[in-house]
Amino acid sequence: MKNVCFAITASLFILSGCSGAPTMKRPYPPPLNLAGVTEKSLSEAFQEEMSYRGSNAEKRRIGLALSGGGTKAGLFAHGILHGLNETGLIHHIDVVSATSGGNYPVYWYFSKHMEARKASFDVTQIFDDCVPAWYGNPDYNDIFAYANVNQAVKLAEKEGQLVCYDNNTDHFLPDSQSKDPLRWQAHLARWPDVFNTTITEVKGDPQSAPQSNTFWLSLRLLGEVPFSFLPMESGVPVAYTQGIERTWGLNPKPRIPEKLNDEDISEQDKWVYTNSDQTRWFHYYHVDQKSQDWESLRKLYKDDPTLPLWVMNTMQGEKSEHPDMNNLYEITPFSYGSPRHGYHKVSPPLESVSQGVRASAAFFDEQGTTGISHTVMTFIDGLIPAFVWGVDIEQPAPPSKDEKVRLSDGGGADNLGLMSLLRRGLDQIIVVDAAEDVDGSMDGLCWAREALKTEKYTLEMDALKDLDLVCDGEKAYNVSEWMNPVIKGEIRPNKGVQTGAIKSVKLFWIKAAWNEYAVKAAANAVDPRPKNPKRPGETASEYKKRLVDIVSNTDHLGTCGNETGMVDCWMPVFYSHNAGEDINGIECLINRKDNDPCFIDFPQLKTVNTTYNSSTYIFWAFRELGQSASRQIYLNSQGELTTDLIQCYQDAKDKRPKRRPNDWDGANWDADECKVVVRSTDVEH
């Protein structure tokens, strides 16, 4: 039975429509006035936040926008950072703008940089990890999964990557100086769920939701109701904040090999952190806020002016049913404010950096709802403090007094984090869209297009056919037959509009979607069962051993890899391991017929479910999916963002609300078929 807290949470979350764009109606006047921005106004408005770069710094050009979407968005964006680190592009990002869960990995990135200054470790190691060969152990997974793991391991060996062999579930490879270089990724694999207060043991077996933790939160929720009249903050949003800190903010010390090999020591006691502060009564790990205050972050920028400016997008005011950028409230280490309240060139009046992340990701709050849902949530907020997740700050107001302003999930204003980059004059932007979008409605993209229409700008993406019909709600895209890991687009002023500094803007759009046909084909290519059926008289254990021997001694490389446009070898691993979670059941995958798609839920997981019940395997899968997409973008010799990926037309299909198009249509689709995008021309590739 679902526990009380999660049931209430899920119901109200659905009502609020967290981290998704609201229904669009008529536009407001342009509050950002993008067309009127000039080079002079840019330098004046953002003088304070650009000061750490020095007077001779080049103009800021490249931006990274990370969308909201809870833990799902956080894991996918974490993979994006991996890919950008792999290509070196991460060092050329001038501004990173994130909303809600998109802030989680940015918080992770900056918290490790801050700790590197204090603990003196090489911050370039935070992305290091090994390929978990033990994950393919047939004692954990069936032969199908084992075959795909074997292929991924062979590719890793070929490319010189680190591999954790045998049963090395610790992800521990001691180096000559015993610095435990994989500890940062190993930590994330053990704390994938922000609501789990105990460490996850990675054994290869399924990982369940943190039922016991949420049971105690439920009791806490009910226990606070009689005291709702008191001016206190509920322990539930505090637990959410500490969960974000625990997963993304803690910095692990090198693990001790003797402890790792001692079976009498619990998994949790094998870890020690440089910046932890345990709650006295419950011993929950979370971050010592003094180690991550705004002054520490500002000092980090002064020490390393190559770091990108971090913009956290929150919302102030009731969520509207159409784009209203007056609701957009920005927080940076150097300033904060909104078009409605003005901008203040000082550090934000928040206790810690993690409080800024919580403000951006506070999806439970009356501000994040509209209509009857807003009325209900306002009533509930007055009775149950546990559902007040927003953060109040003191906002300077003329002539001499301050006013209190409530900040909550930025998804109700700009779930993509795009507008904060545009208003800073950046002309090359990578947009990462990981919001919940099971039916392929592209709400985030359509919301951005509508907001830009208000500003008299047009957003176009040639690869997305019938995008106008999709934004009108008539059609949708099947986000599990996604032909384009990276889609090129452009933002430009409408015809006849006089502009200043913000003219044509190049977009590179990355969506949390995949080409499941191609992934399935790569998985099928190494499945030993169809090629090696069970022999008469052969026992199950003998059959299993024979298949293991076949897989172990066969080179299956060629169906996946890291080259441009290829399926990442980790994706078939996840596909085969999680076949039991597909829409039609595991029988569909084993006994599939011609043209039977056998779609699984990944990566179209629900925001609430993933945030409440994440796992090590979901973390790995989203990380590899994001990494494989973002490493396709690089800087050319002219310093311009580019990609070698072919731009294929993505056809819009009849919409099936809350369901992907073609889930059961059995469409005959060739994974190698691609109509290349050329302006006004279709060319067969």
Q: Which two tokens stand for residue 203?
A: 């054994």
Place of tokens 């992305």: 127
pLDDT for the residue numbered 593: 54
DSSP string over 260-309: HT-TTS-TGGG--BSSB---TTT----B-GGGG-HHHHHHHHHH-TTSPE
Provide the angle, in degrees to the nearest 10, between the axes of the packed helices 570-577 and 143-158: 170
Amino acid found at 432: V
Tell how strand 309-315 and strand 95-99 pair up: parallel
Tell me the three-class secondary structure of 616-651, residue by residue: HHHHHHHHHHHHHHHCCEEECCCCCEEECCCCECEC
Model pTM score: 0.91
Which has the closest alpha carbon to 517: 642, 314, 674?
Answer: 674
Element (H, E) at 681: strand 681-684
Amino acid found at 96: V
pLDDT for the residue numbered 683: 38
Indicate if the alpha-carbon torsion angle 106, 109, 115, 116 is positive or negative. negative
pLDDT for the residue numbered 684: 39
- Distance separating alpha carbons of residues 208 and 506, to the nearest angstrom: 42
The DSSP call for residue 167 is T
Note every long-range contact of 530-538, with CB atoms under 8 Å and residues 24 or more positions apart, other chains counting. Answer: none
Which has the closest alpha carbon to 96: 116, 81, 76?
Answer: 81
Residue 6 neighbours by CB distance under 10 Å: 22
pLDDT below 70 — which residues of the chain? 1-29, 140, 175-178, 209-232, 279-283, 368-383, 386, 398-401, 578-599, 662-673, 678-685
In DSSP terms, 493 is beta-bridged to 457
| CB half-sphere exposure, 96, CA atoms < 13 A | 27
How many residues are recorded in the chain?
Answer: 685
Instruction: Give the contacts of 138 (CB within 8 A, at least 6 positions apart).
Output: 146, 544, 548
Instruction: Give the contacts of 345 (CB within 8 A, at least 6 positions apart).
Output: 47, 48, 49, 334, 335
List Cα–Cα distances, 268 to 197, 201, 209, 497, 622, in angstroms.
Answer: 10, 9, 18, 60, 24
List Cα–Cα distances, 202 to 132, 152, 192, 208, 500, in angstroms.
Answer: 11, 19, 11, 12, 54
Q: Which two tokens stand for residue 342?
A: 């003005």
- Distance separating alpha carbons of residues 222 and 216, to the nearest angstrom: 10
Residue 107 neighbours by CB distance under 10 Å: 26
CB 131 within 8 A of CB 164: yes
Cis check for the bond before 206: say yes or no (omega within 30 of 0): no
Biggest alpha carbon distance in the chain? 90
The DSSP call for residue 480 is T
Which has the closest alpha carbon to 475: 436, 509, 446?
Answer: 446
pLDDT for the residue numbered 375: 67
pLDDT for the residue numbered 402: 73
pLDDT for the residue numbered 585: 41
- Distance separating alpha carbons of residues 308 and 62, to the nearest angstrom: 10
Torsion of CA 244, 245, 246, 251, to 10 degrees: 140
List Cα–Cα distances, 639 to 89, 270, 479, in angstroms.
Answer: 11, 45, 31
- Distance separating alpha carbons of residues 212 and 240, to the nearest angstrom: 15
pLDDT for the residue numbered 220: 65
Tell how strand 505-511 and strand 487-493 pair up: antiparallel
pLDDT for the residue numbered 178: 67
- Cα 92 to the center of its chain, rounded Å: 20
Amino acid found at 356: G
List Cα–Cα distances, 605 to 72, 82, 98, 438, 537, in angstroms.
Answer: 8, 21, 20, 7, 43
The DSSP call for residue 318 is P
Provide the angle, in degrees to the nearest 10, between the axes of the packed helices 570-577 and 516-525: 90
